[in-house]
Structure 1
Amino acid sequence: MSKKVYIFLADGFEDIEGLTVVDLMRRAGITITTVSIKNTKQITTAHGITMLTDTTFCEADFSDADMLVLPGGQPGTTYLGGFEPLTDLVKSFYNNGGKIAAICAAPTVFAEIGLLHGKKATAYPACMDGLGDAVKSEEKVVIDGNITTSRGLGTAIDFSLSLISQLLGQEKADQIAESVVYK
C-alpha cells in the first residue's frame, strides 16, 4: 500500500525545498499531494515561479496521511505559520502519533505551536533562535521521534531521502539517491 504525504505550499515557499521533496517522493512511489493554503491552487514560489498545486487545503481530506511536510522560504513560512487550520492539523496529527517534517525556516512553525519543547531540531542558521527551547543541532537532518527538521535548500536532497527512508526503508532511499546520481 502506497504511503501518503501532504506538503503544504504558500506564496513565497522556497522552490527547491518544496519541489525536491515532491520529486524524490514521487520517484520512490510515495503518493505526495501538494496543498495550497489559499483558496486557489495557484501559488507563486519565493523565486517567482507560478505553479498549480494538486488541491487546496479546504478541498483536501488528510485522514489518510502518513506524513505532513512544511517547506521553508519567506514569506511562505510566515503564511504557513499564520494559517490556523494548518497549525491545528499539524498539532492534532502529531499528537495522534503522525510524522511531521519541516525544512529551513519552517521548523519555527513547529516551535511556535509548542511541538519542539525539549526536542532535538535544526533550521536555517538565521532561524535557529526561532526554535525556542528545542535542543538545537547543526546537523543537515535531525530526527527526534516523529519530528524531522532540516537546515535549508542545500540539505533538501538529504531531507527528502531521510523522509523516504522513514516511510519506505533505507534501501529505497538508497535506490532513489543512486537513480539521481546523488551518492
Structure 2
Amino acid sequence: MKKAIVLLAEGFEDIEALTPVDILRRGKLSCTICSVDDKNEKTSSRGTTVKTDEILKNINIDEYDAVILPGGLPGATNLRDNDNVIKLVSAFNKNGKLVAAICAAPIVLDKAGIIKNKNVTSNPNFKDELKEVNYKEDFVVQDGNIITSRGAATSIYFAFKILENLSDEETVERVKRSTLMNLVDQYHEK
C-alpha cells in the first residue's frame, strides 16, 4: 500500500490540507497527518484545530511515497522556515518520490531548490516568490515527481492528481464516482 504524509504547521489552509487526506483514504491509501514540531495539534488559518497522527521527528521517510504541503498563511511560511521540512522535501525529491504543494506552499519547494526550470503553479500572490520556474496558470501542474496547484478551489483536482500518481485507474474512477467527481468531469467536458 502506498503511503503519503501531509505536513501541518500552524496556520495551514483547512481545505488544502484535508481534501488530499480524504481522497487518498477513500482510495484505501495510507495518509498520515504530521505535525512539523512536537505539538500534535495544529490550528488552521480559519481556526480549525486538527489532531495530527504523528510528529515529524518520529517519521521514517523511507516508509512514505509522497509528501503533501498545504498552503494557508502563516502555514506555508511556517513550513518554508522549518529546516527539517526543507530537509524532508529535498530528500523526497532526491529519491524521486512525489512532492505535492498547493497555494502558497510552492515557496517551500523554491527554498528547497527543487523547482528550478520546472513547470509549476501556485496562488497568484506567490508567483513572484518562485524563482527561475516555468510558471503556469493551470489548476494543477505536474512536472516529473513535482505536483503544484493554485489554491483552495483547486484542492479536489490536486488531491485526485496525487491519487492518480499513487494508485491505479480503477481506484481513481471508483473514488471519482463515490465523490461525484465524475459528474464534475462530465460537466467540464461539455
Is TM > 0.5 for Structure 1 vs Structure 2? yes
Instruction: Return the letter of the residue paired with 2:6.
Output: I
Mapping of residues 85-124 of structure 1, within 5 Å:
85-124=84-123
SS of the counterpart of 2:148? strand
Q: How does 1:24-43 map to 2 (within 5 A)?
A: 24-43=23-42
1:106-129 superposed Cα distances (whole Å, 9 cap, x missing partner): 011101221111000000011111
- Give the Cα separation in 1 of the matches to 2:171 and 2:140: 18
Q: Hey, what does 1:139 align to over in structure 2?
A: 138
User: Once the 2 structures are TM-superposed, how far is the Cα of residue 169 of structure 1 from its aligned partner?
Assistant: 2.6
The alpha-carbon deviation at position 60 of structure 1 amounts to 1.9
Q: How many residues align?
A: 182
Residue 47 of structure 1 corresponds to which residue in structure 2?
46
Q: Which deviations, in whole Å up to 9, do the C-alpha atoms of 1:37-85 show, x marking residues without a partner?
A: 1211010011001120001111222211111110000000011011101
Identity %: 37
TM-score (norm 1): 0.96
CA distance in 2 between counterparts of 1:58 and 1:113 reads: 19
Q: CA deviation at 1:174?
A: 2.3
Contact kept in structure 1, 2:86 and 2:111, CA below 8 Å: no
Amino acid at match of 1:98: K
Q: What SS does the corresponding residue of 1:63 show, helix, strand or coil? A: helix
1:80-109 per-residue CA deviation (whole Å, 9 max, x = no partner) reads 011101101111221121110000000111
Structure 2: runs of 5+ lacking an equivalent: 183-190
Report which stretch shifted further, 173-182 or 38-47: 173-182
**Deviating runs (4+, > 6 A) in structure 1?**
none
What do the CA deviations read for 1:130-160 (whole angstroms, capped 9, x no partner)? 2211100000000000000000000000000
Task: Say which structure is richer in helix.
Answer: 2
Root-mean-square deviation over aligned CA pairs? 0.9
Distance 1:177 1:121 in 2: 25
Structure-1 separation of matches of 2:117 and 2:180: 36
Q: In 2, are the aligned partners of 1:165 and 1:171 still within 8 Å (CA)?
A: no
Most deviating of 3-12 and 166-175: 166-175
Which whole-Å deviations, capped at 9, do the CAs of 1:3-38 have from their partners, x for residues lacking one? 010110011000000000101100001100000012
